[in-house]
Amino acid sequence: MEEGFLWRTLTLVMATAIVLVPVGGSEHVKKEDLEESLQAIHDVATNSLGSLCVTEKFRSLSVPLATARFESARQKADLAATLLQDLGVAHHNGLQGAISKNLLVSDQSVLSARVLTMNATTGTLINCAWWQRQGLEVGEPHKLRCDEYLETGRRPGTEYPWYEDADSSPGLRSPKFMESLPNVSYRGWWTYPYYSCKSRRWLISYSVPIPPPGRGGLKGFLSLDVDVSHLEVNQCEPTTTPSQTNSNEISIFHGTHKCHNTTSQCFYRPQTMSSNWSRGKYQCVCRPGYYSPRYGGVFNGTLVEVSWQDEEENNTDSWSTVFQCMQCAPGCHFCTDLSPCLATYHWPFRITLLVFSVSCALCTMIINIYMFKHRKLKVFKVASPIFLSITLFGCATMYMEMAAIFPVLDRYSCIATKWSRHLGFCVTYTALLMKTWRVSLTYRVKSAHKVKLTDKQLLQWMVPILLVMLIYLGTWTLSDTPTAEEIVDNEDLRFKQCVYNWWDHSLAIGEVLFLAWGIRVCYNVRNAESLFNEARLISYAIYNIAIVNIMMIAFHLFIFPRAGPDIKYLLGFIRTQLSTSVTVALVFGPKIIRVLRGQGDQWDNRARSRGVTASFSLNGIGLVPEEAPDLYQENEELKEEIQKLAAQIEFMKIVHMEINNRHVKPKSGGYFTTLNAPTVVHSPLSRQGCLLSNKQPEEL
């Protein structure tokens, strides 16, 4: 009857909404309390109990435990205490046992539950209902006997952590119990975690005093024990990743490990075969960039705890020396000793190459100024000063690549490297190719009409090529900014090199095709003649650029694939000098030499003797801008025509003189005299002269 009434009452009350409020002690715990609690956990785990379980029946910790996970058990205890208070513990003795067995111990997290009835005045125990589960396995709980208390009339005292102190009252909190969260109040109190010698496990209890209805009468006391042995003492820092968070970890012990945080890192090491409540269940692993010659850089947390405690108590230095990692050599992410991980940069060697390259870039500027000063001399004028200036600017840009790759490479130096290399090549090569292409168009013309290509027209063709390169480099820089990556050399030493990806490969393919077109143009003008041998020297420069770049690519890919930073810098220097310096020497060297010899304003006689006229030179190399008619050019063309007419007049004069005067012999050194010719020279009309000589004088 009573049990049926009880279950109807429980069903009605539990149907009402009960708000879940997190429960637990304050997280502001002193370091001394944490260390004392860890020492107690260590003593229990290593069976170094001392007086525990001899004179003491339990040992409580000094740190609180979050009780939100046991909220359902607390609600049942508060509900049971409310029922007992409303119905009265004096008149419902059977109700106490029903509540203890069917309501409280039915919760799987509850190990035992008890309801005590005492005299409110004397505190004498009158009735006891105590039920306990045999572990947490499924099965019926059994009732414990309270005869020793009932026969002697004494009440439970300090031997039980869940019972209030003798001098405590319902309004006062015993030191055995944790403080509740701010602005939260319950009917009862949670104890601090404690180790029970009787049950041989870690427990936490919830106790609810049931006051009597008046000043006298009977009062009750309800308590339940929750097994917390399955919780884990994790002393490492809490994980920030929700998937790695373990709900069974006791958060109050997070960060209490003894690893040197600056040099090592704590890793929790669960042990399934031992108790979850133990100190030092972690490993101290050296952080990246640190190493230890002892234990392979992995220290057992138990040894670290013992060493730390020994240093605190005995002033030893084992914890500071043995279990502290040392820093690796600069640049090492992982190491086992002080061996270097970064490749060595020989700065004096690199500075020497850099100074030479920068000097070459300054020389190109000096040559540009020198050429501008003497731009009216024939040797520069017929070579188009504007294209010569563009070529020098491109060469100076390629020289500056050595400054971009000089330091330890990073994002900005890689950007400068890509721009100086490819833009300098495009400017230099395009300027030279435009000049050669003009020679090719003029040389291969089939009509008698003179082809005239001006600098303005060539610049109009050159601008789109440079614009395409600028757009490509700009898009590359903004969308996929070049960065530096770490690579290793032959000795597995790391250094940084600019990343090579499909942007580099695509641009390399385009430059190879551009070089192939330039080589074809140069091959077409291989037999063309020009003043000062301009076209042939430019062709040699283009051939040299193609050969040097192909050779350097082969060196990087096949001969020195894992060269160190200094070797790569040397290869870049060699490539720059062989391609850029040789180009400057071929294109500008002969011109400067002629100017220094005082022949800069004289025509190339060898080219003139081969029939290369100034008119052809100015068409083929076409190096004057399209302006008003050039009197100088017209005078040169008129001189050529006058010389041709004078030669024809002299020829006709001599022929007619021979026809009408057979006795006149040609003078030695005359117009028709040659080195191996006989004394009698026959004119183109010699056949007619022979016929006349066979006639008699009378016939003449």
What per-residue string of b and e applies to 297-330 under the rule 16 or more CB within 10 Å gives b?
A: bebbbbbbbbbbbebeeeeeeebeeebbbeebee
The answer to whether residue 685 scores a pLDDT higher than 60 is no
642-664: per-residue pLDDT in tens? 888 888 888 888 877 777 666 65
How far is 273 from 270, CA to CA, in rounded Å?
A: 9
**Residue-level pLDDT at 525:** 77
Of 372-381, 494-503, 531-540, the poorest mean pLDDT is in 531-540
424-437: per-residue pLDDT in tens? 999 998 888 888 88
The residue to which tokens 């095709």 are assigned? 513
Structure tokens belonging to residue 630: 């050039």
Say which residue, 595 or 275, is predicted with more confidence.
595
**Residue-level pLDDT at 454:** 78
How far is 508 from 500, CA to CA, in rounded Å?
A: 11
How far is 583 from 281, CA to CA, in rounded Å?
A: 71
The answer to whether residue 624 scores a pLDDT higher than 60 is no
The answer to whether residue 95 scores a pLDDT higher than 60 is yes
How far is 229 from 65, CA to CA, in rounded Å?
A: 12
The answer to whether residue 33 scores a pLDDT higher than 70 is yes
664-676: per-residue pLDDT in tens? 555 555 544 444 4
Mean pLDDT across 369-389: 85
State the DSSP string of 225-271. Answer: EEE-TTSB---SPPPS-GGG--TTB-GGGTT---S-TTTEEEEE---
State the DSSP string of 523-573. Answer: HHTTT---GGGHHHHHHHHHHHHHHHHHHHHHIIIIISTT--HHHHHHHHH
**Residue-level pLDDT at 438:** 80
Say which residue, 447 or 76, is predicted with more confidence.
76
**Residue-level pLDDT at 55:** 80
**Residue-level pLDDT at 603:** 64
Q: 23 falls in which pLDDT band (50, 70, 90)?
A: very low
Mean pLDDT across 31-60: 85
The answer to whether residue 480 scores a pLDDT higher than 50 is yes
Mean pLDDT across 548-564: 83
Here the contacts of 288-292 (C-beta below 8 Å, separation 24 or greater) are 288/333, 288/334, 289/327, 289/328, 289/332, 289/333, 289/334, 289/335, 290/263, 290/264, 290/325, 290/326, 290/327, 290/328, 291/325, 291/326, 291/328, 291/334, 291/335, 291/336, 291/337, 292/324, 292/325, 292/326
Mean pLDDT across 453-459: 81
At 37, the amino acid letter reads S
252-311: per-residue pLDDT in tens? 899 999 999 999 999 998 765 457 788 888 999 999 889 998 888 899 998 999 999 888
**To which H or E segment does residue 143 belong?**
strand 142-144
**Residue-level pLDDT at 670:** 53
**Residue among 624, 292, 663, 661 nearest 458 (CA):** 624
Structure tokens belonging to residue 39: 């020492």
120-177: per-residue pLDDT in tens? 777 777 778 787 876 544 456 667 666 555 555 566 666 678 887 655 554 556 777 8
**To which H or E segment does residue 32 belong?**
helix 31-45
The burial class, CB within 10 Å (0-12 / 13-18 / 19+), for 17 is exposed
Greatest C-alpha distance within the chain: 188
HEC string for 314-367: HCCCHHHHCCCCEECCCCCCCCCCCCCCECCCCHHHHHHHHHHHHHHHHHHHHH
The answer to whether residue 501 scores a pLDDT higher than 60 is yes
Identify the sign of the CA torsion 514, 517, 519, 525: negative
Q: 615 falls in which pLDDT band (50, 70, 90)?
A: very low
How far is 352 from 345, CA to CA, in rounded Å?
A: 13
44-to-65, 158, 340, 398 alpha-carbon distances in Å = 18, 20, 47, 75
Identify the sign of the CA torsion 295, 301, 305, 308: positive
503-544: per-residue pLDDT in tens? 998 998 998 888 888 888 888 877 766 666 777 888 888 888
- pTM for the model stands at 0.59
The answer to whether residue 620 scores a pLDDT higher than 50 is no
Q: 242 falls in which pLDDT band (50, 70, 90)?
A: low
How far is 59 from 356, CA to CA, in rounded Å?
A: 81
Of 242-251, 489-498, 678-687, the poorest mean pLDDT is in 678-687
Half-sphere exposure of residue 107: CA atoms within 13 angstroms, side-chain side: 22
Of 40-49, 190-199, 576-585, 609-618, the poorest mean pLDDT is in 609-618
Strands in 52-139 per DSSP E = 58-60, 110-119, 125-132
398-420: per-residue pLDDT in tens? 999 999 999 999 999 999 999 99
**Residue-level pLDDT at 472:** 94
For residues 103, 105, 106, 111, the Cα torsion angle rounded to the nearest 10 degrees is 150
Tell me 187's DSSP state. Answer: S
Question: Mapping DSSP to helix (H, G, I), strand (E, B) and coil, where does residue 640 land?
Answer: helix
**Cβ-based neighbour number of residue 228 at 10 Å:** 22
**Residue-level pLDDT at 660:** 67
Of 97-101, 285-289, 471-475, 540-544, the poorest mean pLDDT is in 97-101
Half-sphere exposure of residue 386: CA atoms within 13 angstroms, side-chain side: 14
Structure tokens belonging to residue 526: 């291989």
The answer to whether residue 94 scores a pLDDT higher than 50 is yes
The burial class, CB within 10 Å (0-12 / 13-18 / 19+), for 44 is buried
**Cβ-based neighbour number of residue 390 at 10 Å:** 21
Q: 244 falls in which pLDDT band (50, 70, 90)?
A: low
**Residue-level pLDDT at 450:** 52
Structure tokens belonging to residue 226: 């929750």
**Residue-level pLDDT at 82:** 84
Average pLDDT, the chain: 77
For residues 550, 556, 557, 561, the Cα torsion angle rounded to the nearest 10 degrees is 170
Of 223-227, 603-607, 657-661, the poorest mean pLDDT is in 603-607
The answer to whether residue 491 scores a pLDDT higher than 80 is yes
**Ordered structural domains, the chain, with CATH:** 2-227 (3.30.450.20), 242-327 (no CATH), 347-620 (1.20.1070.10), 633-693 (no CATH)
Which residues does 442 contact at the CB level (< 8 Å), separation at least 6? 451, 453, 616, 619, 620, 622
The burial class, CB within 10 Å (0-12 / 13-18 / 19+), for 360 is buried
State the DSSP string of 429-442. Answer: HHHHHHHHHHHHHH
